[in-house]
Amino acid sequence: MTLFMIGLGLNNEKDITVNGLEAVKRSDFVYLEDYTSRLNCSEQDLEKFYSKKIILADRELVEKKADEILDEAIKKNVAFLVIGDVFSATTHIDLYLRAKEKNIEIKVINNTSILNAVGIAGLELYKYGKTTSLPFFEKSFRPETPYDVIKDNKKLGLHTLILLDIKKDQNKFMTVSQAVEQLLRIEKKRRKKVFTEDTMIIGCARIGSDDFKIKFRKSKELLNEDFGEPLHCLVIPGKLHFMEEKMLELWK
């Protein structure tokens, strides 16, 4: 029997590949990883399109109780669905390795992720440096790692993709304006002129969907910009090629 690890893409139930859909239809159990991202459709939309019952897999199930999934894959076909690409989170690498330890046959079916779909903004993908994530600030937790990643990438002339925090169990998704506000607070503390009010940045929302939104402006101009529904991300450009500059003019 087989564990199918299937990327769903970024938008809705129809973004699954033909190979992915065929694997879902062959599966006895279909799990949807339900905590690292979200689609622009409901669980019911997936069930109707796939003609399969969807089992939501939260963080505890995938990270602490993965044997419940893997033991089923020893005797049955199991589909493990991931929004974006299969290996967009380290948790899924862990699941793959644990399946290998149990000698379970695995078939990986890839799909697009934000790491390549962000190319629509117009910056050359091979000129991106390290990607970073920006968590929601809390009273005793205000990490500054994203600021350092931007600084290091800028030194090399590289672009920075910043993935914004989500707390799906709370229906809480960081917006572009919240991300800008947090980064400006770090700048006020660090004073290295890495992310100032005049830094030109790219705000993105719902990349991969028909109603995506991209704006290229000074950070202070995006503080009050409404990008609409999640998911949002930020891109901080590095050194620009003239073709990149021409593309960014579209988003001003």
Q: Give per-residue pLDDT as tens, 165-178.
A: 999 989 999 999 99
Q: What is the pLDDT of residues 200-225, one digit of tens each?
A: 999 999 999 999 999 999 999 999 99
At 63 the three-state DSSP class reads helix
Coil, helix or strand at residue 85: coil
Contacts of 230 (CB under 8 A, 6+ apart): 38, 166, 173, 175, 205, 206
Structure tokens belonging to residue 199: 């830094």
Q: Has residue 159 got a pLDDT over 90?
A: yes
Question: At residue 150, does pLDDT exceed 90?
Answer: yes
The share of the chain scoring above pLDDT 70, in percent, equals 100
Residues 6+ apart with CB under 8 A from 26: 4, 77
Domain boundaries, the chain: 2-112, 115-251
Query: DSSP 3-state assignment of 69?
Result: helix
Which tens digit of pLDDT belongs to each residue from 29-38?
999 999 999 9
* Residue 140 tokens, joined: 């005793």
Q: Which CATH code fits 2-112?
A: 3.40.1010.10
pLDDT band at 90 (very low <50, low <70, confident <90, very high): confident
Please choose, from the candidates 47, 46, 78, 76, the residue with its C-alpha nearest in 3D space to the C-alpha of residue 61: 78
Phi, psi of 165 (to 5 degrees): -60, 145
Judge whether residue 68 has pLDDT over 90: yes
- Is the model's pLDDT at 91 over the cut of 90? no
Per-residue pLDDT averaged across 72-92, rounded?
93
Q: Which CATH superfamily is domain 115-251 in?
A: Tetrapyrrole methylase, C-terminal domain (3.30.950.10)
Cα 182 from chain centroid (whole Å): 19
What's phi and psi for 222, nearest 5 deg?
-100, 0
Phi, psi at 203, each rounded to 5°:
-95, 135
Residue 89 has pLDDT above 90, yes or no: no
User: What would the pLDDT profile of 116-146 be if each residue is shown by its tens digit?
Assistant: 999 999 999 999 999 999 999 998 899 999 9
Asked if residue 81 has pLDDT above 90, the reply is yes
Mean pLDDT on 145-168:
97
**Roughly how many angstroms between the first and final C-alpha of the chain, as a whole number?**
52
Rounded average pLDDT over 61-71: 93
